[in-house]
Structure 1
Amino acid sequence: MYKFRNTTYDNWDPYHRTPLQIYYHSVLSIVKAVPMMIVSLLAAKYIHKLHLRPRLLCTTFIACVVFVSLTIFVVIDTDDWQFMFLVIIAIIMTVLSVAGVIYRLSQTRLLARFPILYMKFDMYGSGCSSLFSILLQIVSLSIGNDPISRAFIFFVCGTAVVILTFILALASDHLQFYRYYVGNSLEDTQQPPKKFKELIRSGLCIWPSIVQFLILIGAWMCTASVTNLIVSEHYGNGNPWNEKYFVPVVSFLVPTLADCFGKYTAKPIMTRKNAKWFVLASFLQVVTFSPLYFFCNAPTVTERQIPILLPHDWQYITITILDATSSSILIGICTLSVSRLTEGDKQKTEDGLLVMSTLTYICVGILSPLGPLTVKLL
């Protein structure tokens, strides 16, 4: 955000945001939407024609290159060409997102070959990675003297972690355990392209998980742009908690901790008989919590059209904890229950997870314009 600030102010101020700062996340989500949708559709049909391991390694290497590029841009003065910098960042993040789609779909196929327990380990890893990122951001805020040094510390550490991940991915092929479950990926490449009818049939087997997942992801797409704008009610009093730590702790760390707790407690308890109740629970969860963020303390450039009915920090913190925990538990249940819905059929489980991931990216693409729209409605 500092890179897109109003340069007439010495420091970044949430009450004097520029249009680029307000719509940054929304613009990026829209720009990435179409490429992600196209790649996800093509990948669902043809991704198995490429060797699994090279796919994982190549996308991880792309992530390394992107993080190195972002680290370099941190120390470059972009004040005189902020819009061009936004375009460059949008291109870089689109490349990273497309690589992420390929990586996630490849990882989904990989996880389907392991026992269901390892899918839960993957969920733990996902939660811990987010937790590590937020803690690193908080540490960077604590030891950095200015926004540039803080960002530099964050991206240098992030780059080191991504490079280490790439090295560990290279080494994984030497593990007998890994090779046993992965099998011969050459056999996969010799199979004909997946027919959409086959994918649809696999998707219908796990329709409760897919519907539940799309409801929760769709709600997140509608509220993410708003939560990025929410600040402490006491911002501006000079207290470091309100000035520096409130947003990363409350808007990111607290939901991440709640997310980890939800993933830990989630169990594969959804069956075909009780699935409708979990779908209903997801719908009620979204209807209950998502609208509340629009009434929290999110300043905008112009006068707000929606009144701030929940101005206090404790109210926002409570909403965040309850929302993140309940949604994470529901997402964990719908993901872990895929194998039960397919009655243990590994091929249907693999194809079903692929369909769920593909539909998620399509949903994100279709709903991406809601980001700037929800900000505009404020």
Structure 2
Amino acid sequence: MDGLAENVYSIDFKEQPPPYEFIEKELQYKLEHKKHPKQHEQETSSNIPKDQFYFVLFVVGLLGLVHILPYSYFLTANEYWMYKFRNTTSNSSNASDRTYLQANFVSLNQLYTTLPMVLSNFLLTFIAHKVKAMTRIIFTLAFHTLLFSIEAIFVNVNTDNWQQLFFIITMIVLIMVMSTISFGAAGQFGLFSKLPPMYINAYLVGEGFAGMFNAVMRLISIVISPSPTGSAMIYFCTGSALMFISTILTVIAGKTGFFRYYNNSSSEDKKEKIRDRKELFGVVKHLRHMLLLNALFILAPLASIYNLVVSEYESDSNNIWANQYFVTVCTFLIPSIANTVGRLIFSKFNWDCPVPILYGLVIAYEIIPSIFVFLSNAQPRHHLPVLINHDWEYSMGMAIYFFFQGFIASMMLMKTIRMLPEKRVELGMLISMFFSSIASTAFSPLGVLAVKMI
């Protein structure tokens, strides 16, 4: 079947586009091939190495957890950034008196990190396969461990007199994080798609747990050390340790007989020539609907708004809930739990949603939550009224929003994988991430505009 997949992508797409149904049937055959190896290869179960203690399954889920962990980890440390970029003259804790860097930290980092991400993804689309996928994964994990350590060093450095320079340094770190995520992520999809189907589902569930892990670790760090710098030190050191452990476990998993059995052809990938335009355009043509859906899915700049939402009790300076726990619990922890539940439910049913229905779901997902978030108690605000006044209303709305985010994101990812032959999954994911980064770049100014609109 691998040879068949190669033949599919070697023909001239302009003259003879391979039919969508053919690709679907080919992938379905391969999924059944993995589920019933004795039926398709006349192999006995004793010929297939076992995943002892489900170690590889655990590592795959762990890599789903950590593959975007550095970026989301940084955003979850909201109180820390508010402290670092506060007005050091007045030391005001009033949300309506936030400085420009406090109010625009998320929107500005999206604005500055997207273009470098586009350039790196463009380059990776052509040459990433020249480096072994496992090598890319391990390098990315080790590099992110280093970046975490750098940020941990700055926690106890007094940056009050050079906030703008510290902001620039932080943006450089985030740019390096975002520019290298795709370097390892596409390799992960390429390798894990060759494993039995339960492994890619474990990856998606692990990805859903990332936000929950971030929020829980942030909450624990605040409980242990309420001070902004003390909690941030615990938080970033924990993240660095997790990335380091993930690197070691990934090296071990890659050497297991089970993993090698399903990825014994990955060493041949480097022999492929640099990909030409015909091949790339062929994949783009097949994924055109999914590429557009991915762009629509990230259109609304809601992260720039909901990180500014404050508790209804924010005016009470002695209220511990409002000043220490509200953001971590209501903006990050509860939504991340809902996101994980959405991914778990999808992994249970694994619905192959038709593309027209996907369009309707994505458009509704973008419009309805946008209205809700813009009318929540985000501060500072100058134009729009606050209609979502109570903390429980905000928490419930965020839970519903992130539940559908997890469900729909998993649905779109699996739909993309189903549209691709096995040997083109990695290339398809690289192209998908490249177009998503273009969309992020095009939409990134909307974050700054959204902050001004409220």
TM-score (structure 1 length as normaliser): 0.92
1:358 and 2:438 are equivalent in the alignment? no
Preserved contact between residue 269 and residue 337 of structure 1 (Cα < 8 Å): no
1:335 and 2:413 are equivalent in the alignment? yes
Q: 2:370 pairs with 282, 290, 302, which one?
A: 290
List alignment gaps of at least 5 residues for structure 2.
1-80
Tell me, in whole angstroms, the C-alpha distance in 1 between the residues paired with 2:235 and 2:198: 32
Q: 2:339 pairs with 230, 241, 259, which one?
A: 259
Preserved contact between residue 383 and residue 453 of structure 2 (Cα < 8 Å): yes
**CA deviations over 1:257-292 (Å, ceiling 9, x no partner):** 111011011143225xx3211211211221122122
Q: What's the CA shift for 1:339?
A: 4.0
Alignment correspondent of 1:210? 291
Preserved contact between residue 282 and residue 327 of structure 1 (Cα < 8 Å): no
1:125 and 2:206 are equivalent in the alignment? yes
Q: Which runs of 4+ in 1 moved over 6 A?
A: none
Alignment correspondent of 1:104? 185
Q: Which letter does structure 1 place at the counterpart of 2:190?
A: R
Q: What's the CA shift for 1:315?
A: 2.3
Tell me, in whole angstroms, the C-alpha distance in 2 between the residues paired with 1:155 and 1:3: 15
1:367 and 2:443 are equivalent in the alignment? yes
Preserved contact between residue 133 and residue 184 of structure 2 (Cα < 8 Å): no
Q: Which letter does structure 1 place at the counterpart of 2:123?
A: L
Residues 252 and 14 (structure 1), Cα distance of their counterparts in 2 relative to 1, 3 Å cut: same
Q: Which letter does structure 2 place at the counterpart of 1:136?
A: M
Preserved contact between residue 116 and residue 339 of structure 1 (Cα < 8 Å): no
Tell me, in whole angstroms, the C-alpha distance in 2 between the residues paired with 1:51 and 1:349: 15
Q: 2:351 pairs with 252, 256, 269, which one?
A: 269
Preserved contact between residue 258 and residue 324 of structure 1 (Cα < 8 Å): yes
Tell me, in whole angstroms, the C-alpha distance in 1 between the residues paired with 2:190 and 2:413: 14
Tell me, in whole angstroms, the C-alpha distance in 1 between the residues paired with 2:291 and 2:264: 28
Q: 1:346 pairs with 399, 410, 422, which one?
A: 422
Preserved contact between residue 130 and residue 271 of structure 2 (Cα < 8 Å): yes
Preserved contact between residue 104 and residue 448 of structure 2 (Cα < 8 Å): yes
Residues 11 and 107 (structure 1), Cα distance of their counterparts in 2 relative to 1, 3 Å cut: farther
Alignment correspondent of 1:227? 306
SS, match of residue 298 in structure 2: helix
Of the structure 1 ranges 281-290 and 133-142, higher mean CA displacement relative to structure 2 is found in: 281-290
Tell me, in whole angstroms, the C-alpha distance in 2 between the residues paired with 1:374 and 1:162: 33
Q: What's the CA shift for 1:311?
A: 2.1
Q: What's the CA shift for 1:7?
A: 1.1
Alignment correspondent of 1:311? 389
Preserved contact between residue 270 and residue 334 of structure 1 (Cα < 8 Å): no
Equivalenced residues, count: 370
Preserved contact between residue 137 and residue 184 of structure 2 (Cα < 8 Å): yes
Q: Which letter does structure 2 place at the counterpart of 1:144?
A: S
Preserved contact between residue 187 and residue 426 of structure 2 (Cα < 8 Å): no
List alignment gaps of at least 5 residues for structure 1.
none
Preserved contact between residue 124 and residue 430 of structure 2 (Cα < 8 Å): no
1:160 and 2:236 are equivalent in the alignment? no
Question: Identity across aligned pairs (percent)?
Answer: 27
Q: Which letter does structure 2 place at the counterpart of 1:101?
A: S
Alignment correspondent of 2:140? 59
Q: What's the CA shift for 1:84?
A: 0.7
**CA deviations over 1:110-166 (Å, ceiling 9, x no partner):** 223223321111011112232111101001111114111111111111111111111
Alignment correspondent of 2:105? 24
Residues 196 and 319 (structure 1), Cα distance of their counterparts in 2 relative to 1, 3 Å cut: farther
Alignment of 1:70-109 (within 5 A): 70-109=151-190
Q: Which letter does structure 2 place at the counterpart of 1:197?
A: K
Tell me, in whole angstroms, the C-alpha distance in 2 between the residues paired with 1:59 and 1:339: 23
Tell me, in whole angstroms, the C-alpha distance in 2 between the residues paired with 1:157 and 1:78: 22
Q: CA RMSD in A?
A: 1.8
Residues 29 and 218 (structure 1), Cα distance of their counterparts in 2 relative to 1, 3 Å cut: same
Of the structure 1 ranges 360-369 and 224-233, higher mean CA displacement relative to structure 2 is found in: 360-369
Q: Which letter does structure 1 place at the counterpart of 2:399?
A: I
**CA deviations over 1:213-235 (Å, ceiling 9, x no partner):** 3322223xx11101110111111
Alignment correspondent of 1:15? 96
Tell me, in whole angstroms, the C-alpha distance in 1 between the residues paired with 2:120 and 2:313: 44
Tell me, in whole angstroms, the C-alpha distance in 2 between the residues paired with 1:108 and 1:218: 24
Q: What's the CA shift for 1:295?
A: 1.0
Preserved contact between residue 297 and residue 311 of structure 1 (Cα < 8 Å): yes
Q: 1:175 pairs with 256, 267, 272, which one?
A: 256
Structure with bigger gyration radius: 2
SS, match of residue 311 in structure 2: coil
1:279 and 2:359 are equivalent in the alignment? yes
Of the structure 1 ranges 180-189 and 92-101, higher mean CA displacement relative to structure 2 is found in: 180-189
TM-score (structure 2 length as normaliser): 0.77
**CA deviations over 1:345-374 (Å, ceiling 9, x no partner):** 312444333322222222112211111111
**CA deviations over 1:172-209 (Å, ceiling 9, x no partner):** 23211112222243311110122233233223334444
Tell me, in whole angstroms, the C-alpha distance in 1 between the residues paired with 2:129 and 2:283: 16
SS, match of residue 337 in structure 1: helix
SS, match of residue 218 in structure 1: coil
Tell me, in whole angstroms, the C-alpha distance in 2 between the residues paired with 1:214 and 1:119: 23
Q: Which letter does structure 2 place at the counterpart of 1:63?
A: H
